[in-house]
Structure 1
């Protein structure tokens, strides 16, 4: 009997220990259900981790310093329920093994450069070709696949630093980059970009977050409402390269100056929609350019979540996940179907280095590249 009682006691102790262990493991998960241990590793001798930002408004942003990627972003819906509004993966291994730019910092040049060729001070530079004969998002080993040095000075701020050496991916100049993520008290996620160079170069940094404000990552975003403050856009050819034209949005499916659903005009017989396989175009934002008023607004009628995009950049790329096909599985094993997210990438225009008449992306030694984009959330 004593032996049996002892056995029962031991079993109870083990059960209690297991329960406590499970409780501790659950406590370590983020509000979005991410396990930080699945993001902890070393790549090329540099530590990788998951950083969790929180603020007084209850928002949570989880960011990995592998590519500076926004892994999850929890914001309240109209019933004050926290909802994850970005697509992504729930492990570092998936970000490494599955090709994609979910939530990543894009550089040195966001968007496309024609045939990957640029000329600076009569010297031609060849950049990596990785998209229909062009260079896209800095090439296959762009900033989205780099390990950034990370510091978290407070609960709501993450500072990421990267030194891109002269000649990396064909770009001239040592580029010293700092990107700061901040959760604001106004329910915002602010992204501040800074860079310095020691040689004339080009810079066009952005973030490639895939937003779905419904929180239903297995559905599409065609019923979400979009407004863009742009009278014009830059048309593309069948290789997704800008033609160099700035065209009015009047009487085209690209007129978002009055709020409409993303899918409202998607089925219209339009050459530009055919070339982009949907919306995959840069919009020329109306000036003056500053971060005080929205350049675009996205909202979801089911959750009541609204997102304003505020930026000092001259353009914004609208992309609606035309190449998502259900084969890629993201967080919680959810397959991401066609058009299950919308990207609103603040930027200079595509192929600007080869279009001297467009706002310049040139950075000189001694100059301070400084730009800011804010995603601000509210309820409707």
Structure 2
């Protein structure tokens, strides 16, 4: 009990870091212990002229979430397993240098456009825009200097709420318009982490924001997620070409290795390369069209780990979810607790609009105009079975 009290006090001091310099100095000097076994002093850094720090949220059940300014990234999510033991269920690093020195999206806010835009080009209202390429000839996750590499300001830091803001300037990575972005993380006492994305623009643009957390509900990234059970409430998906750009069609999942309508062990069909979509994605890396788009009361997906009993439901108002099984993790990055992240040691469940929508008029529009407001909602709710 004494350890927990000390840990919570530490978390409160970290929150003070966003208000005044004296509190920042006090908080950072006291960071030898934290509730998440993270040393906040290892996150204190100047990046692009701004101060980076580590912020902790904690609910009444002991669930804890750590977030840092750089990319607005979720660094750690601590939840209880079926035996009451706390498990960190996301991949990441225990210091800011590893985030900035490695090409990764661990836990990051993704923008301006999550997923791919073909040929890094699109036309909006007869105006042509050229983006920066970073995935062959395509633009992936907003380009090489997407939101995952940007410093977010913290406008509010409370024990269960963190508000991150960022101004994406006109022509950043080639996207039009000054885009004011607010991302609010809220940790509720029912062990749900809600993410609210809001944005406004001063000229027409395209927006598709998401979070790129890598989940492993075993709490040990030495394990793969191949034994996890997945459900996705989708009957269709958007097939792609070899570069993972949608063909423009929407096809049925029934009878394919991509069908997760009923609980299915991820590893059961992940290597069925006779199905071309599996071959192109080197596993699962696909956009699932949700059956109940916009319905926040219906779980879009559910993930369960058999060894810990930890479950995670995903709720969203978005029309789709990208299921990515860490196929490109290659053992070159060493994360928290000294674990080397290997292929398929995590899964991403990214709520989103469709990839390449700016070039696919038949897909739901991602256009944002000055008179409008972008709003995207995603909740990750944890439990045990």
Q: Please indicate, yes or no, whether the TM-score normalized by the shorter chain is above 0.5.
A: yes
* Aligned equivalent of 1:31: 35
Q: Partner of 1:263: helix, strand, or coil?
A: helix
Q: Which residue of 2 aligns with 1:329?
A: 334
CA distance in 2, matches of 1:185, 1:202: 35
The answer to whether residue 47 in structure 2 is matched with residue 43 in structure 1 is: yes
Please give the per-residue CA displacement for 1:94-149, whole angstroms capped at 9, x wherever unaligned.
Answer: 00001100000000000000001011111100011110211000001000000000
**Which of 232, 239, 242 does residue 238 from structure 1 map onto?**
242
The correspondence for 1:345, drawn from 332, 345, 350, is 350
Q: Which residue of 2 aligns with 1:99?
A: 103
Post-superposition CA distance 1:122-178 (Å, at most 9, x none): 110001111021100000100000000013342010000000111111000000000
The aligned counterpart of 1:108 is 112
Question: How large is the RMSD of aligned CA atoms in angstroms?
Answer: 1.3
Residue pair 2:236, 2:288 contacting (<8 A) in 1 also: yes
Residue pair 1:326, 1:336 contacting (<8 A) in 2 also: yes
Partner of 1:373: 378
The answer to whether the aligner puts 1:229 opposite 2:230 as a matched pair is no
Q: Does 1:54 align with 2:27?
A: no
Matched, 1:195 2:199: yes
- Report the CA distance between 1:289 and its aligned residue: 2.0
Q: Which residue is equivalent to 1:299?
A: 304
Indicate if the aligned counterparts of 2:72 and 2:164 stay in contact, CA closer than 8 A.
yes
Superposed CA offset, 1:319-356 (max 9, x none): 00000111211012110111000000000000001111
Q: Is the 8 A contact 1:175 1:197 kept in 2?
A: yes
More displaced stretch, 296-305 vs 362-371: 362-371
TM superposition shift of 1:27: 6.8
SS at match of 2:383: strand
- Tell me by how many angstroms 1:32 deviates: 2.5
The offset of 1:371, in angstroms, is 1.4
Matched, 1:356 2:370: no
In the alignment, does 2:252 pair up with 1:248? yes
Q: CA deviation at 1:56?
A: 0.9
Contact 1:236 1:276 in 2 (8 A): no
Deviation at 1:244, TM superposition (A): 1.2
Instruction: Describe the SS at the equivalent of 1:89.
Output: coil
Aligned to 1:278: 283
Q: Does 1:67 align with 2:71?
A: yes
Query: 2:235–2:261: 8 Å Cα contact kept in structure 1?
Result: yes
The reply to whether residue 259 of structure 1 matches residue 279 of structure 2 is: no
Separation in 2 of the partners of 1:107 and 1:29? 33
- Tell me by how many angstroms 1:25 deviates: 8.6
1:129 pairs with 2:133: yes
1:210 aligns with 2:199: no
Q: 1 CA distance for matches of 2:30 and 2:129?
A: 51
**For residue 311 of structure 1, what is the aligned residue in structure 2?**
316
For 1:249 and 1:263, the matched residues in 2 are separated by 17
Cα distance in 2, alignment partners of residues 32 and 257 from structure 1: 35
List per-residue Cα deviations over 1:264-305 (Å, max 9, x = no partner).
112322111001111111000002422112000000010000
The equivalent position to 1:151 in structure 2, one of 136, 155, 168, is 155
Greater CA radius of gyration, 1 or 2?
A: 1
Separation (CA, whole Å) in 1 of partners of 2:152 and 2:294 = 29
Q: State the TM-score, normalizing by the size of structure 2.
A: 0.91
Give the match for residue 183 of structure 2.
Answer: 179
User: What is the CA–CA distance in structure 2 between the aligned matches of 1:346 and 1:190, rounded to whole Å?
Assistant: 12
CA distance in 2, matches of 1:124, 1:196: 21
In the superposition, the TM-score normalised over structure 1's length comes to 0.92
2:233 and 2:53 map into 1 onto residues whose CA distance is 37
